[in-house]
Structure 1
Amino acid sequence: MSKDVYETELSVLNQENAELKREIEKLKEELAECCSALSQDGKIKKKVAEMKVEFTHMEDTEGGFADTNTHCVFSVTTRIPFKLNQNQALLTLEDEEVAERLTKMGKHTVNLDGTTADVKVVPFTVGMGVKFELHVTISGKKINVSDIPELPIPDEWMRDKLELNFYKSEHGGGEVENVKYDKRSRTAVITFTRPGAMASIVRCARHPFYVNGRCHRISVSPSTDGHLEKLQLFSGISTKTILLKGIKETEDDEESVQDMIEIHFQKPSNGGGETESIKYVSKGAVWVSFEEDA
C-alpha cells in the first residue's frame, strides 16, 4: 500500500471515528435526559409544549347512578423534535427491510448531476416522546370563584355574602350547600344543592358582587379535576427513517439535490425501495418533528 493511499484511508477512519464519538455523546445526552425525567420519588418530569388535544370519548356512569358531573378523556401524544444539520438528509422508506438493508450497506455512492458523493447511512435515533390520557371531571354542582375583593369584614360574613350573591344571581344560581372561602388567595368554591344550577352561571366569566353598596367584579369558572392515566415514555431507533450524512455541496438548488438523492435510494439496484418522504438541508439547520404513526 502506498503512503498516499494509507494516509487517505487513515484520514477517512479518523473522520468516521470522530463521527462515532459524536453519536456516542449524543446517546449519552439522551440517556441522561431519560434518567433525569425520573425523579427520586418516582414521579416523571417532562416539559410538554402547548398543543391541541383530541377529545376521544365520554365515560359512562358506573353503578347505574345518576351523575351530575361531566367526565372527559383526552389523548395526548407529544411530537419529537430533531435538529437536521447542514449537508444531511432524513429519508423515510415504506418498507422497514429496505431501511435496514441500506443501513447495513453503510456507504453509498450517489450521483449528483455529474459528480459523485460518498453518502453515509446511519440509523436514526428518535428522542424521547410522551403519550398519555388526560381525564378531566367537570363538576355539575361546584364553581370556582376568584378575584374576590379584600374587605375589612370577618371571613364568616364574606361567606354569607358570597352565598347570598349566588343564591339570587341574575345569571342563574340557586340554593347553596357550602361555601369554602380562602382569604389569602381571594378565592372560593361554591357548592349548590341542585345539580345543574351552576350551568348558566359559568357561561359568564365575570359576575357582579355587591357589598356595602359597591359593585365588584369577580371571576367564575367551572370546578374541574384532572389526572393522567396510561403514561408512556418512548424512545429508540426508527425502523423506517434513516439519516444520510456527508452530502457534498453542489451548485444545484436544494430541491434538485433532494430529488437526486431520493431517486438513488428508490432504485432496487442500489438496495433501495419506495420512499415516503425526504428532507435535505444544504445550508444551516432545520428542526423537523416526528409523531406517532397512526
Structure 2
Amino acid sequence: MSSDEDFSLMMEPKPLCEENLEGVKKMIISCQMQHDQLLREQQDLIQSRDEQRDLAQQFKQRSDRLLKSLEEDRHTYTENVQSEKEKLVQLKQQDDQLRREIQRAEAAMREMEANNDDLKKQTSVSAAVPEKRVVFMGLTAGTSDTQRFEMTLRVVYPMEGGTALITFEEEIVARKILSLTTHEVNLGGEFSITVEAKPVQLMIPSQVEIDTQVCPRRILISNLPKMDSERLLNKLEIHFSKTPHGGGEVQECDLLQDSGTVVLTFVRTDVAKGLTEMQYHDVEFERGKKKHRVKVTPFLNGTITNLKTEQVVCPRTVLLTGIPSIMEQDSLQDLLEIHFQKSSSGGGEVDAFLYNPLGQQASALFQEDCPSHKGGAL
C-alpha cells in the first residue's frame, strides 16, 4: 500500500462547537470543586492528626505522672511498713517491761499482804499503864527535854508446825547461822535431818498517837493488897457499890493482870467523878483487920489516831524450818539445841529455844530486849 493511500485515511479534527465548550467548562468547575473538597478534607485530616498527637502527648504525660506517683506511693508504703514494724517491736518491748513491772508489783503486793497478815496476827497484844511512884528532886528542865510516854513492847509471833525459834546470847552467832542457810543436824548414828535458817521479821509500832478522854463511868484502882483475885474483886465491888462510901451500883469489875490494877464500871455516870476527887479510900479486905488504903484515879478511854509501823529483824533470834516429826518433841528439841550450841556447827550459847512440831499451833512472845543486849529477844 502506498503513502498516499495512508494519508487518505486520516480524518481531520472536528471544530469545537459551543456546546462542547460549555461542557468542558462545567467539567473544569466540577474538578475545581472536587479539588477544593479534597483540600478541605486534607486540612481536616491534618487537624485531626495534630489533635490525636496532642492527646497522645497528654496521655503520655499523664501516664508518666501516674507512674511517678505510684512509685512514690510504693516508697511511702514501704517506709510506713518499716515504721510500723519498728513501732511493733517497741510496743512488744514496752509490753514485756510492763509485764515484768506487773510481776514485781504483784510480788510486792503479796509480800505486803503477808506482812499485813503477820501484823494482824501480832496485834493481839494488850498492855496497861501501871502506877509508878515519882518524887520531885528539885531539878527543872524545858519542855523539849521531857520524855515521851513509854511502854513495854510485846509481840505475839504465830509459829507454823515444823519450826523452831532459837535466840542466841550473841548477835554474831545468829548472823553466822543465817549466813550458812541450811544445816544438817545429826540425831545419833546414821540419822540426820536438814533444816533451813531464816531471819525473824516483826512488824512493830514505831509511833503511836492516842486521843484520850476521861471515862465518866469507870475508875482505876491501884495500890491493892496481894490476895486471891476473886476475893479482891468481890471486896472492891461491895465497898464501892455502897452509897455511904460515895459509890453506886457496879456494872462490871475487871482485874488488869499485867498492871495489877482493877477497873470498876458503874451503871450511872455521876459516881466515878466523886470517887476520883476523893482519890484515897480505906477498904476492909479482911474482917477484923486494919483497912487497906487504895488509890482511885480516873480511867482514860483512848483512841489511836495515828499508828506507824516498821519491819525489824531480830538480831539474836533465828527461825528454823523444815523440821520433821521423827521423834518425841522434848528429845528432838534437846538435840536441836545441842547442835546449835556447838561452835563446830557455827553456833554458840543459846538464850532461849522453842520448838513447835508439825500439826500443832504455837505462839512465841517477843518483848523488848534488856539493856545488856541489843535488839529483840525471844
TM-score, length basis structure 1: 0.50
Letter in 2 for 1:90: L
| CA distance in 2: counterparts of 1:145 and 1:263, whole angstroms | 55
SS in 2 for 1:53: coil
**What residue is the counterpart of 2:335 in the other structure?**
260
Give 5+ residue unaligned stretches, structure 2.
1-106, 141-147, 219-242, 247-266, 284-295, 371-378
Measured after TM superposition, the shift of residue 222 of structure 1 is 5.8
| CA distance in 1: counterparts of 2:137 and 2:179, whole angstroms | 54
**What residue is the counterpart of 1:103 in the other structure?**
178
Flag the 1:51–1:89 CA change in 2: closer, same or farther, 3 A: same
Flag the 1:32–1:225 CA change in 2: closer, same or farther, 3 A: closer
**What residue is the counterpart of 2:166 in the other structure?**
91
Flag the 1:26–1:245 CA change in 2: closer, same or farther, 3 A: farther
Measured after TM superposition, the shift of residue 125 of structure 1 is 1.0
Measured after TM superposition, the shift of residue 281 of structure 1 is 1.5
**What residue is the counterpart of 1:159 in the other structure?**
none
More strand by share: 1
| CA distance in 2: counterparts of 1:273 and 1:279, whole angstroms | 16
Deviations 1:199-223 (A, max 9, x none): 179889xxxxxxxxxxxxxxxx865
**What residue is the counterpart of 2:203 in the other structure?**
127
Letter in 2 for 1:28: M
**What residue is the counterpart of 2:192 in the other structure?**
116
| CA distance in 1: counterparts of 2:335 and 2:133, whole angstroms | 46
- Match among 99, 110, 113 for residue 29 of structure 1: 113
Over the aligned positions, Cα root-mean-square deviation in angstroms equals 4.9
Letter in 1 for 2:278: A
Measured after TM superposition, the shift of residue 268 of structure 1 is 0.9
| CA distance in 1: counterparts of 2:273 and 2:351, whole angstroms | 55
- Match among 116, 125, 129 for residue 53 of structure 1: 129
Aligned length: 196
Flag the 1:202–1:112 CA change in 2: closer, same or farther, 3 A: same
| CA distance in 1: counterparts of 2:357 and 2:270, whole angstroms | 58
- Match among 318, 337, 348 for residue 242 of structure 1: 318
| Identical-residue share of aligned pairs (%) | 25
Deviations 1:204-246 (A, max 9, x none): 9xxxxxxxxxxxxxxxx86556779xx8745311100001111
SS in 1 for 2:315: strand
SS in 1 for 2:325: coil
Letter in 2 for 1:128: I
Q: Is 1:77 matched up with 2:161?
A: no
Measured after TM superposition, the shift of residue 144 of structure 1 is 4.7
**What residue is the counterpart of 2:345 in the other structure?**
270
| CA distance in 2: counterparts of 1:57 and 1:75, whole angstroms | 15
Letter in 2 for 1:105: L
Deviations 1:63-115 (A, max 9, x none): x9xxxxxxxx9743342111212211111101101100110111111011331
**What residue is the counterpart of 2:361 in the other structure?**
285
Flag the 1:26–1:95 CA change in 2: closer, same or farther, 3 A: farther
SS in 2 for 1:273: coil
| CA distance in 2: counterparts of 1:54 and 1:131, whole angstroms | 20
SS in 1 for 2:368: coil
| CA distance in 1: counterparts of 2:135 and 2:309, whole angstroms | 25
Measured after TM superposition, the shift of residue 249 of structure 1 is 2.3
Higher relative contact order (CA 8 A, sep 6+): 1
Flag the 1:58–1:109 CA change in 2: closer, same or farther, 3 A: same
Flag the 1:189–1:239 CA change in 2: closer, same or farther, 3 A: same
What are the residue-to-residue correspondences of 1:185-264 with 2, within 5 Å? 187=269, 198-199=277-278, 223=298, 233-250=309-326, 252-264=327-339
Flag the 1:49–1:243 CA change in 2: closer, same or farther, 3 A: closer
| CA distance in 1: counterparts of 2:330 and 2:110, whole angstroms | 29
| CA distance in 1: counterparts of 2:324 and 2:149, whole angstroms | 46
CA contact (8 A) 2:197 2:320 kept: yes
| CA distance in 1: counterparts of 2:270 and 2:132, whole angstroms | 32
More helix by share: 2
Q: Which runs of 4+ in 1 moved over 6 A?
A: 23-26, 130-138, 189-192, 200-204
Flag the 1:268–1:24 CA change in 2: closer, same or farther, 3 A: farther
Flag the 1:282–1:202 CA change in 2: closer, same or farther, 3 A: same
Q: Which has the larger radius of gyration?
A: 2
CA contact (8 A) 2:165 2:354 kept: yes
